[in-house]
């Protein structure tokens, strides 16, 4: 029969599990190094961790490696759940913004290459667009007039952002449902 001390030995995490947790904390600390000053302030981090992150900004090579180790040590003392969630939310917002930007580029490219069929499709999708201005800018971009492609992108971008803003303000909030 096992004694009480032997049972306690199996209740704690294994050495490998502790190493994985320490590495995850260190990786999260390194992700914090990539954030801007404003993003760091928004995370409400402990003062010692913020100081260590600020100190790391000017270091090189071996000193940087040691400071990253220290940040990892500090991260093991902090609840990393909210920090991880905030970083993931920021990353998701960045990816969503990149997808919107690519959709805008695709519409601009379609308006230039496909002509009237893309113009009709865009106007159907975004009925508030100034159709005449859109057609003029698309024709100018096809003729490769200087600045026309950029102006077309700006119009497409403004139209899509206005439409996205109106959709979110017109849609009922979850509390209304």
Q: For residue 49, what are the domain limits?
A: 14-78
Number of folded domains that form the chain: 2
Q: Are both 160 and 100 inside the same structural domain?
A: yes
Higher-pLDDT residue of 99 and 81 is 99
User: Crossing angle of helices 131-142/148-170, nearest 10°?
Assistant: 150
| Confidence label for 173 from pLDDT (cuts 50, 70 and 90) | very low
Condensed to tens digits (0 to 9), the pLDDT of residues 72-92 reads 888 888 887 888 888 888 889
Q: Are both 100 and 158 inside the same structural domain?
A: yes
Q: Are both 74 and 112 inside the same structural domain?
A: no
Condensed to tens digits (0 to 9), the pLDDT of residues 123-152 reads 898 888 889 999 999 999 888 889 889 999
C-alpha–C-alpha distance, residues 113 and 6, integer Å? 74
Report yes or no on 83 lying in a domain.
no
Report yes or no on 84 lying in a domain.
no
Q: Which residues contact 30 (CB under 8 A, 6 or more apart)?
A: 68, 71
Q: In the predicted model, what is the mean pLDDT of residues 96-108?
A: 92
Of the three residues 38, 53, 78, the one that is the final residue of a domain is: 78
Distances from the Cα of 48 to the Cαs of 60, 70, 93, in angstroms? Answer: 20, 11, 28
Q: In the predicted model, what is the mean pLDDT of residues 23-49?
A: 80
Which of 46, 101, 100 is closest to 74 using CA atoms?
46
Q: Can you tell me which residue has the tokens 């093991």?
A: 76
C-alpha–C-alpha distance, residues 97 and 167, integer Å? 16
Q: In the predicted model, what is the mean pLDDT of residues 116-125?
A: 90
The token pair that represents 169 in the structure block = 């303000």
| Confidence label for 156 from pLDDT (cuts 50, 70 and 90) | very high
Q: Are both 102 and 66 inside the same structural domain?
A: no
User: What's 145's DSSP letter?
Assistant: -
């Amino acid at each position: 029969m096992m004694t009480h001390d032997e049972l306690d030995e199996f209740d704690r995490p294994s050495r490998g599990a502790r190493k994985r947790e320490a590495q995850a904390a260190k990786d999260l600390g390194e992700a914090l190094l990539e954030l801007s000053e404003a993003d760091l302030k928004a995370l409400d981090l402990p003062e010692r961790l913020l100081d260590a992150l600020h100190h790391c900004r000017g270091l090189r090579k071996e000193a940087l490696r040691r400071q990253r180790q220290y940040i990892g040590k500090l991260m093991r003392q902090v609840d990393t759940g909210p920090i991880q969630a905030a970083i993931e939310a920021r990353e998701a917002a960045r990816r969503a913004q990149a997808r919107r930007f690519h959709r805008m580029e695709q519409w601009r490219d379609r308006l230039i290459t496909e002509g009237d069929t893309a113009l009709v499709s865009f106007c159907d999708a975004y009925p508030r667009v100034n159709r005449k201005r859109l057609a003029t800018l698309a024709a100018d971009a096809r003729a490769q007039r200087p600045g026309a492609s950029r102006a077309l992108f700006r119009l497409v971008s403004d139209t899509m952002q206005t439409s996205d803003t109106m959709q979110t303000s017109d849609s009922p909030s979850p509390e209304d449902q």
